Amino acid sequence: MLPIDLQGRRAFVAGVADDAGFGFAIAKALAEAGATVCVGTWPPALNIFLNLLERGKMDASRRLRSGDLLQFEKIYALDAAYDRYDDIPEDVRGNKRYKDVGDCTIEGVAKRLTDDFGDKPLDILVHSLANGPEVKKPLLETSRNGYLTAVSVSAYSLVSMIARFGPLMRDNASVVSLTYMASERVIPGYGGGMSSAKAALESDTRTLAFEAGRKFGVRVNTISAGPWASRAASAIGIIERMVEYVAKTAPLTSPLEPSDVGNVAAFLCSPLAGGITGTTVYVDKGYHSMGMGYEPFAHLSS
């Protein structure tokens, strides 16, 4: 038996606000492998997330194979659009969803981790963050602000997090992010600069693997996941059609499950993947390998 063993390791998963997305699935897989898990949640979603937990609305999805419930060691408010507290505009600081959460910037959360757990508190960092406020707009109709926001939150935040979390990470640490194939293929309807943001994320993964590997001894990889109809992905507007098309076209037609992504993330964060860095790993039922849709040639498989 060759187990994925993450006992004694602590993970921080940025971008968990419910139990429907890849971030939650990754957190659960890491816990199944023995890691303790902290999460970062967008301040406007924080109270809803806490209420769901407290009322037991996520108990079924939190159930581990052992029968225990997935427990989050700490839940931090995190808005990865801001690097430092001074970057938060006054009107945002005074917003009712922000004014009581303290320093929710990337730097602020890094400090909270060291305050709570000491100088080297982390072994695993998961970046499950994306935001494209104009994602439903074609690229030609995307504003400069919408484009830059997509790149800032969905790609640059990884750079900022590794710069600030890298010094907090112990030996043999790992960073994993989530990308999408729109980085390299045209996906009509996935607009607002999000395709550009994912391309930047993948390019940065390679560069960060070199720089953070040399500076912090950290491995950096990204998972290119197939489409999944999470609550967050509903903002795209065509997510159901994307899922349906991939199911018809991919080599494997069984539905993609968030646990498929979670399990690969756990592997990438484990010693079993100690030689893997700077890599985009596809978890999409093989869809990325296709050059043409399946339906016109369905008769050839009979």
pLDDT single digits (tens) 141-159: 999 999 999 999 999 999 9
Q: How far, rounded to the nearest angstrom, does the alpha carbon of residue 179 sit from its chain's CA centroid? A: 8
Evaluate if pTM is beyond 0.75: yes
pLDDT for 229: 65
Q: 193 near 151, Cβ under 8 Å?
A: yes
Q: Mention every residue, 6+ apart, whose C-beta is less than 8 A from residue 241.
A: 189
Q: Which residues of 12-39 are buried (b: 16+ CB within 10 A; e: fewer)?
A: bbbbbbbbbbbbbbbbbbbbbbebbbbb
pLDDT for 296: 53
Helix axes 144-151, 194-216, angle to 10 degrees: 30
Instruction: Scan for tokens 């093989």, then name that residue.
Output: 286
What is the pLDDT averaged over residues 98-109? 96
Write out the catalytic residue numbers.
Answer: 180, 190
Structure tokens that stand for 88 in this block: 């938060």
pLDDT for 182: 92
pLDDT for 290: 86
The pLDDT confidence band at residue 302, using thresholds 50, 70 and 90, is: very low
Burial of 117 (0-12, 13-18, 19+ CB in 10 A): middle
The pLDDT confidence band at residue 259, using thresholds 50, 70 and 90, is: very high
The pLDDT confidence band at residue 299, using thresholds 50, 70 and 90, is: very low
C-alpha closest to that of 72 among 48, 46, 39:
39
Burial of 220 (0-12, 13-18, 19+ CB in 10 A): buried
The pLDDT confidence band at residue 240, using thresholds 50, 70 and 90, is: confident
The pLDDT confidence band at residue 162, using thresholds 50, 70 and 90, is: very high
Backbone angles phi, psi at 209, to 5 degrees: -60, -40
Q: Is residue 233 pLDDT above 70, yes or no?
A: no
Spatial distance between the Cα atoms of 282 and 284, rounded to a whole number of angstroms = 6
Q: 63 near 9, Cβ under 8 Å?
A: no
Domain 10-286 is in which class? alpha beta
CA atoms within 13 A on the CB side of 138: 3
Average pLDDT of the chain?
93
Question: Measuring CA to CA, how many Å separate 279 from each of 121, 273, 276, 291?
Answer: 25, 11, 7, 22
The pLDDT confidence band at residue 248, using thresholds 50, 70 and 90, is: confident
pLDDT for 300: 47
Q: Are strands 219-225 and 280-283 parallel, antiparallel or unpaired?
A: parallel
